[in-house]
Amino acid sequence: MQTRHIADVPVSAIGLGGMPMSIEGRPDRQRSIATIHAALDAGVTLVDTADAYHLHADEVGHNEELIAEALRTWSGDASSVLVATKGGHLRPGDGTWTVNGRPEYLKQAAQESARRLGVEAIGLYQFHRPDPDVPYEESVGALVDLLDAGTIRLAGISNANPDQIRLAQDVLGGRLASVQNQYSPAFRSSQPELDLCAELGIAFLPWSPLGGIAKAADLGDTFAPFAQVAQAHGVSPQQVALAWELAQADVVVPIPGASRPASIQDSVLAADLQLTREELDRLDAAV
């Protein structure tokens, strides 16, 4: 598996997004554990989760606990796996999502995430989504406190715009490790954030890199050039999409979600898929 870096930590060029294993339509626990194990067996060393990846109001942290169990029961050495989790986004249990960016809440949420993950310090903790009722610098300030207290090792932000990235980098004193934004063939409006991360040397982690749970399977039908390039290489359009994202900048680490072993086993092959400049230009032009 090719590697990239989040701050000074080497990670697999393709990560695993845990969200599909804990929200609506989730598989049974046995298949979820098998999916995580398949990712680890394939060389994945970045696993993305959040305390809000759950279905019912009384199961906050469902996905974090699932990942912790999978790491405990994996036959390999899990010490090199970076688990990234997030706080500040909540699910009341009625299908909606809410936000809470208050510093005191974020610090408490991080401590709870560490407990569920069974770690003394979270590898990467990211502020999940801006709270319009809380100044952004105050929310990011909680990450500073968490870093200084040793509760987290690396700090990141998610769903951020360029101004928020610059502000977070300033508040964190240059310690912003990652930005996790939506980015895929279907959603390219985060290109400015990707470009800024490349300029600053900050890892950019595309979420829903295949277009989202409901649309990932149809990527080749929706974007014909991706299907055409895939056919030429004898691979899936999804692999082509991930390889295209990796080619955007060396700070990009896609985190495709999966709920079946076969899905992540296909995705990781994108790390070794070499696309020509002409193919990349065709994909860049696809809308």
**Catalytic sites, residue numbers:** 53
DSSP string, 129-171: S--TTS-HHHHHHHHHHHHHHTSEEEEEEES--HHHHHHHHHH
Burial group, residue 43, by CB count within 10 angstroms (0-12, 13-18, 19+): middle
Asked if residue 270 lies in contact with residue 243, where contact means CB atoms within 8 angstroms, the answer is yes
Contact by Cβ (8 Å): 255, 227? no
Q: Does residue 208 contact residue 181 with C-beta atoms inside 8 Å?
A: no
- Residue 268 to residue 12: CA distance in whole angstroms: 9
The CA angle 55-118-34, to the nearest 5 degrees, is 60
Q: How far apart are CA 122 and CA 132, in angstroms?
A: 26
User: In this structure, is the dihedral angle defined by the CA atoms of residues 72, 153, 208 and 55, taken in order, positive or negative?
Assistant: positive
Kindly give the interhelix angle for 162-171 and 191-200, rounded to the nearest 10 degrees: 30
Residue 145 pairs in a beta bridge with none
User: Quick one: 198 exposed, middle or buried, by C-beta within 10 A (0-12, 13-18, 19+)?
Assistant: middle
> Closest Cα partner for 207 from 225, 194, 222, 220?
194
Question: Coil, strand, or helix at residue 84?
Answer: strand
